[in-house]
Structure 1
């Protein structure tokens, strides 16, 4: 693992894999290298019976993760890149272990996609969630990522996140069941994660793995991409709004989208 991903198998106890996104200077935005390492980590973890719980968190106290490193899109085929990232999300969601997102700060874009592919989410009171891409990049979510957001936050908040570009605070997220708990600060977040982990480690592995398999199997048909989605996304990623969003982001300017 690179320094951008910190792996700890001891801090939270035996059987707990803790993964920390460690780019606080960039609000822990994901790079292509980080996605690659995460994909391989989930593949290995799925075959590791010594791991019972996976905890994901962001370093720095300001963000879980603030989306993707946008410069990675410059030389990539954006649709193929999104498809490749989605494989990592699928591996995370399919893990037989219980996965917990410990959110302290902003959780947007790719960070929210990761959090909604976890089983449980706990957040500090100041955390916020959303996909403000209509104001920033002018791109669109893949259908599977959109489905996970809708499944966790419900359709009304998903529409508000994407159509109004609003961020949802932790109390509203808790009210709709998207969060297991809202806590005061980072210390309380650690205590709540410790409590969750302690209970899971005492639980039946058979019950947990069977339940996860049932939920995964039931969700698959609804999560499937709509017909023609790749062509639709390719039109978005090769269109003028995304080109302007990408240019403006890299230039640290406000984008001016076509009206």
Structure 2
């Protein structure tokens, strides 16, 4: 496999994007996000491409969040907004987008997956935002709303308030996955063939209709950016980053604030 962290191939109207950092469970770097942003901007103008498939390398993860060091090198709230713009670009693509999930799909990985049209996964896959247990940060409101649109509000509340992960069976039962399969490659091939054989006119019109409603309902509230800035400069995030880098369990709350 190539050393590139984002592998993009194109054949017969299908673009396949592979997140290629298996040693880090395919956690996204700022460079990977920048490449994805450029790719999505290009795909928005490509009527010859009908399907975009996103998947992770290594068989253990779709993507396990973001590279934490990137948040320390920039304005974290501004970085969240920049990532949000990229996700909006993915969501708005005229092509049918498929997240093919094999393993852990958390944090930034889940954000990407929930901005795809269709999600299929292997039985061992797990989903969530465990940030309440790890980093003590917060998600932008549109990402939370998109998760709730895919998984439902009760599960979204549970995964964010407790940090628990959701297994593939439960995700399928609530409609967040269209299929759970032992043969991920075979299922992708069959799904892509169905999409290619169907009407692009119907697909694009339907996406515009559904997305218009979603964007109206999932807009960020006025307080969102100020709240994120407060979170990312607060004691819990500082403790979460310290513990993450030290490979320790974070100690949130009064014990940290008394230091």
TM-score normalized with structure 1 length: 0.96
Instruction: In structure 2, list runs of 5 or more residues that go unmatched.
Output: 255-259
Q: Name the structure 2 match of 1:123.
A: 121
Q: Name the structure 2 match of 1:94.
A: 92
Q: Distance in 1 between matches of 2:235 and 2:3?
A: 35
Q: Name the structure 2 match of 1:219.
A: 214
Instruction: Give 1:2 deviation, angstroms.
Output: 7.2
Would the aligned equivalents of 1:4 and 1:22 in 2 still touch at CA under 8 Å?
Answer: yes
CA RMSD of aligned residues (A): 1.0
Deviations 1:44-75 (A, max 9, x none): 00101111000000000000000000011112
Q: Could you say what secondary structure the match of 2:8 adopts?
A: strand
Residues 1:33 and 1:236: Cα distance change in structure 2 (over 3 Å): same
Given candidates 156, 160, 163, the residue that maps to 2:161 is 163
Q: Name the structure 2 match of 1:26.
A: 24
Deviations 1:94-132 (A, max 9, x none): 000000000000000000000000000000000000000
Given candidates 224, 234, 253, the residue that maps to 1:258 is 253
Q: Name the structure 1 match of 2:257.
A: none
Residue 172 in structure 1 maps to residue 173 in structure 2: no
Q: Name the structure 1 match of 2:54.
A: 56
Would the aligned equivalents of 1:17 and 1:53 in 2 still touch at CA under 8 Å?
Answer: yes
Q: Distance in 1 between matches of 2:3 and 2:25?
A: 17
TM-score normalized with structure 2 length: 0.96
1:143-154 counterparts in 2 under 5 A?
A: 143-154=141-152
Would the aligned equivalents of 1:28 and 1:59 in 2 still touch at CA under 8 Å?
Answer: yes
Q: Name the structure 2 match of 1:195.
A: 190
Instruction: In structure 1, list runs of 5 or more residues that go unmatched.
Output: none
Residue 231 in structure 1 maps to residue 229 in structure 2: no
Q: Could you say what secondary structure the match of 2:119 adopts?
A: strand
